[in-house]
Amino acid sequence: MRSNSPDISIIIPVYNNEEGLDQLLKSIAKQTLQDDTFETIVVDNGSTDRTPEVARNHSVTLVFEREVQSSYAARNRGLEEASGNYIAFIDSDCIPEPDWLQTGVEPLVNEEADLVAGRVEFLPTDPSNRSLAELYDSVSHLRTKQAVASGNAPTANLFCRQEIIESIGPFQTDIISGGDTEWTSAATDAGFRLDYAPEATVYHPAREFRSLLRKNHRIGMGGVQRGRVPSVLGWGRMLFPRGPSEMRARLQSEEIGVTWRRILGLFLVDWAANFARASGVTKQYIYEKLQS
């Protein structure tokens, strides 16, 4: 690395999210670390709105990934541009706390870990009246602490050493979902240490119902692309929602008040989400069979 290079490279993949990107970059400008210790790399993945223009209004490096429509390809493009010893991944629809960068990189600097996953807290549109879909999203997706315990983590809020990129290689770009799980699992399988830093917090908008179904449809497709094809019995089980005890436990783990109305509502949303995931599995499975 050049002597005048920053210590940290922040990589932000983005597609048609001008408003979210603007809010994110304003938050990054307010980080507790000095500006000269990090660089911000925005990778536009073929946006058709004002996203590139918004990026140019901030002190960032703007590059493009136009060949492959994939957030993983965009992250790889950002890695090609990065010059820091440490890499920080964050999604364009997230808003970090002012000390996010400092608390996320600290375990790497102190050699306590090789990868660090921060906390992702979901924000509903109206905190006083959270919809069932938003509540479900909050207790079902981006459960980083549990993911880290299993040896993987999402890239919505992830830090790592540059040498891990050199050792593991880039993200897989031919899958629609789950590439971050595959990549971080490869890193921990290779012996790199993954830790959870809840102090490194970002806020992510909770999804409404339609967006939630689209997300689960992509998860189903991505699972097949990664070779995770369920048996007939497993496919059938996907259609059944989690039991009330599981919903109760998830609400309690997120310190959300437990009521039977919420449990029943989450039960129904879970059924719809599972159906969307199963349809994604079926669609991708049929597509791959027709292509073979």
Average confidence (pLDDT) over 122-136: 86
Average confidence (pLDDT) over 168-194: 95
Q: Indicate the average pLDDT of the chain.
A: 91
Above 90 in pLDDT, residue 210?
yes
- pLDDT for the residue numbered 184: 98
**Between residues 2 and 212, the one the model is more confident about:** 212
Query: Domains in the chain and their CATH numbers?
Result: 8-205 (3.90.550.10), 209-291 (no CATH)
- pTM, to two decimals: 0.87
pLDDT in tens, 255-282: 677 677 888 888 889 999 999 989 999 9
**Between residues 43 and 247, the one the model is more confident about:** 43
Q: How far apart are CA 62 and CA 43, in angstroms?
A: 6
- pLDDT for the residue numbered 245: 76
**Between residues 20 and 292, the one the model is more confident about:** 20
pLDDT in tens, 143-179: 899 999 999 999 999 999 999 999 999 999 998 889 9
- pLDDT for the residue numbered 250: 72
Residue 277 near residue 238, CB atoms below 8 Å: yes
Residue 218 tokens read as: 């992509």
- pLDDT for the residue numbered 140: 80
Residue 42 near residue 72, CB atoms below 8 Å: no
Q: Most confidently modeled of 90-99, 138-147, 213-222, 240-249?
A: 90-99
Above 70 in pLDDT, residue 139?
yes
Above 70 in pLDDT, residue 192?
yes
Percent of the chain with pLDDT over 90: 68
Residue 216 tokens read as: 């689960």
Above 60 in pLDDT, residue 2?
no
Which H or E run includes 271?
helix 260-291
Above 80 in pLDDT, residue 7?
yes
**Between residues 251 and 281, the one the model is more confident about:** 281
Above 80 in pLDDT, residue 239?
no
- pLDDT for the residue numbered 1: 37
Q: How far apart are CA 166 and CA 231, in angstroms?
A: 36
Q: How far apart are CA 270 and CA 262, in angstroms?
A: 12
Q: In terms of C-beta density within 10 A (0-12 exposed, 13-18 middle, 19 or more buried), how is residue 26 classed? A: exposed
CA dihedral defined by 215, 221, 225, 231, rounded to 10 degrees?
120
Average confidence (pLDDT) over 3-13: 82
Q: How far is CA 50 from the centre of its chain?
A: 23
- pLDDT for the residue numbered 3: 42
Above 70 in pLDDT, residue 254?
no
